[in-house]
Amino acid sequence: MEWVIVLLVLVVIVSVFLKSPSGKDYNYRQRRMLFTPAERSFLGVLDQAISDKYRVFGKVRVADIITPAKGMSRKNWQIAFNRISAKHFDYVLCSKDKLEVIAVIELDDKSHNTKKANDRDSLLENACKSASLSLIRFQAKSNYQIQNVRDHIELVLNPGSSGSG
C-alpha cells in the first residue's frame, strides 16, 4: 500500500515538472546596475567607514540571512518564509575573517515614506529583532561624514561604547 502512495506522489511531481514552462518560454533582460546611484555612493562610504574590520555585501536576500524559527507548524513556517523571501537587505555587514553576519544595514531614502515601504520596514525591523540581528539604518543624503557613519555603526553594535576609539 505504501508503494502505491509513493508512486502517486512521483507521478504528481513528474506531471508538475512536465507541465511547468521552461525558461525558453520567457524573455529576460539584464539589469545593468546592482545599486541605485544613492546606494552605490553609500557603499563607497561604508567601505571606507568599516576599513579592515568588516566586509560589506549588497542586495542580499533576507531569507539568506534569517529564517523562520523552528517549532512552528509547517503552514505558519511557510507563511513566515514567504513574507521575507522576496525581500533583500541593502547591505550586510560581515566579519572579515569568517564572513559571519554581524548586522544588516538599510539606506532609507524618500521612497521609505510610502505606506508600502513603511510596512516593509516594520516587517524587517520585527524580523531582525526576533532573530537578534542588529539592523542599522541610515538616512540617504547627498554626502556623509565617514567618521559619523563609523560611529553610528559602532554605537549600534556596541551600545555601551562612546563611538570612535
Range of the domain at 141: 35-157
Flag whether 7 is in a domain.
no
Report the amino acid identity of residue 115: K
Flag whether 47 is in a domain.
yes
Report the amino acid identity of residue 92: V
Flag whether 143 is in a domain.
yes
Flag whether 60 is in a domain.
yes
Cβ 92 vs Cβ 106: under 8 Å? no
Q: Where are the beta strands (DSSP E) in 43-155?
A: 54-61, 88-95, 101-108, 134-139
What's residue 4's pLDDT? Answer: 55
Number of domains in the chain: 1
Indicate the DSSP class of residue 131. Answer: T
What's residue 88's pLDDT? Answer: 95
Within 13 Å, how many C-alpha atoms sit on residue 117's CB side?
Answer: 9
Give the pLDDT confidence of 26-82 residue by residue, as tens digits. Answer: 888 888 899 888 999 999 999 999 978 899 999 999 999 999 999 999 999 999 999
Give the pLDDT confidence of 113-151 residue by residue, as tens digits. Answer: 788 888 999 999 999 999 999 999 999 999 999 999 999
Flag whether 72 is in a domain.
yes
Looking at the predicted structure, is the pLDDT value of residue 12 above 70? no
Flag whether 142 is in a domain.
yes
Flag whether 20 is in a domain.
no
Residues with Cβ within 8 Å of 144's Cβ and at least 6 positions away in sequence, in order, are: 42, 45, 138
Looking at the predicted structure, is the pLDDT value of residue 165 above 70? no
What's residue 22's pLDDT? Answer: 58
Give the pLDDT confidence of 85-102 residue by residue, as tens digits. Answer: 999 999 999 999 999 999
Flag whether 29 is in a domain.
no
